[in-house]
Copies of this chain bind each other. A is one copy, B any other.
Amino acid sequence: MNSEFTIAVHSLVLLAHLPDHMATSEEIAANVSTHSARIRKVMGFLRKAGYVSTKEGIGGGFILSCKPEEVTLGEIYRLTCQGTLKPSWCSGDESKPCMISSKMDRLMGKVFCDAEKQMENYFEGHTIGSMLEQIRAFECPQSNTESLS
């Protein structure tokens, strides 16, 4: 699995923590620790799905356009990583006469697909809002000094 799911979740939690603030891709990138172009790419998915609004030009950036408690990690997973659990490498060979060699890839495909659904089901139990709560609950020594750095 690549890390676009992680980036999307991190960005959304950050935006949920800063309502009414237009965050630029540079600001988000600094917080996530990656390049701004990568943030813009991931935010593109989130914009098309309606989770964030974007504004170009001076004073522009990204802002949350959904309720954090209503967005589950499952939705974000499907948006960014669905189908990536199964390795691309294929076991066996469909053209072989042996039933095991010829059918194993299909069987493993089903197994991985179902396993992924189980995982998504777990992700459904978490929302952007609950993630933010957990972060805050860890302990927040600087709850009054808001800082993106």
A103: chain B residues at CB < 8 Å are 135, 138
A97: chain B residues at CB < 8 Å are 142, 145, 147, 149
Does A126 sit at the interface, judged by CB under 8 A? Answer: yes
Contact A135 B100 (CB under 8 A): yes
Contact B6 A89 (CB under 8 A): yes
Contact A123 B119 (CB under 8 A): no
Chain B residue at minimum C-beta to C-beta distance from A85:
B1
Name, among A10, A100, A115, the residue most crowded by chain B CB atoms within 10 Å (CB to CB): A100
State the interface size on chain A (CB cutoff 8 A): 54
A136: chain B residues at CB < 8 Å are 99
Chain B residue at minimum C-beta to C-beta distance from A122:
B118
Contact B10 A91 (CB under 8 A): yes
Contact B99 A140 (CB under 8 A): yes
8 Å CB contact of A104 from B85, B106, B135, B142: B135
Contact B135 A91 (CB under 8 A): no
Question: Which A residues from 24 to 68 make CB contacts under 8 A with B?
Answer: 31-33
Does A9 sit at the interface, judged by CB under 8 A? Answer: yes
B-contact bits for A92-125, CB 8 A (1 contact / 0 none): 1100111111011011100100110011011100
CA distance A121 to B2 in the complex (A): 23
8 Å CB contact of A119 from B9, B115, B145, B148: B115
Given A101-B32, A103-B138, A104-B13, the answer on whether A3 and B91 have CB atoms closer than 8 Å is: yes
